[in-house]
Homo-oligomer: A and B are copies of this chain.
Amino acid sequence: MRVVLASQSPARLATLRSAGIEPEVIVSGVDEDQVTTTDAANLAAALAQLKCRAVAAQVDTDVLVIGCDSVLAFEGEVFGKPGGPAEATARWRRMRGHSGVLHSGHCVRRGDQEFIETASTVVHFAAVSDAEIDAYVATGEPLHVAGAFTIDGLGGAFITGIEGDHHNVVGLSLPLLRDLVGDLGIRWTDLWNRPS
């Protein structure tokens, strides 16, 4: 089966690959500003659906298309990617020692069949020092990701723990995706197309 990931996120691609699935990548080019809801879980779902549908319109109806979008909810605010080093630093000074919720919307589509769900994972941030924040932001790594942290990179040491699915924090929940493709009538293990 042809599998298409409607996302330009290298972390999502790496997550699928580690789980045995080598997808094609087609970037949707969706304008994310057209969605204006302020509810984090709904926002992630709406953007995932937009990306998925935009790409599904470009491929045959027997192709499985996966769209995802992630945001961090923290103290009533929605954090996407930070605008720059200053914003990343300011966020980390607020987040350290506290917790947020990473919401990743997932939309799967094949032909006219579509299923959407958001997975939510609680993330506990370590009480990092100013020097650690400065060193982390200086690497540039947190500037390119929702919530300004990389649990699968340098930021891994700065997350004390989570509650929920780790891969969802990276941007694509594998157990949720297994459920959604099951709803489409596809057996998860039939998607394995990479040598282990």
Contact = CB atoms under 8 A, between A and B. Distances in A.
Q: Which of A121, A132, A178 has the most CB of B within 10 A?
A: A178
Contacts of A39: none
Contacts of A192: 135, 139, 154
A142 to B, nearest CB: 10
A57 interface: no
B188 A153 contact: no
A187 B166 CA distance: 26
A18 interface: yes
B175 A165 contact: no
A90 to B, nearest CB: 19
Contacts of A160: 165, 175
Contacts of A174: 156-157, 159
Contacts of A196: 139-141, 153-154
A136 interface: yes
A175 B161 contact: yes
A139 B192 CA distance: 10
A162 interface: yes
Interface in A159-196: 159-167, 169, 174-175, 177-178, 187-189, 192, 196
A167 B175 contact: no
A20 interface: yes
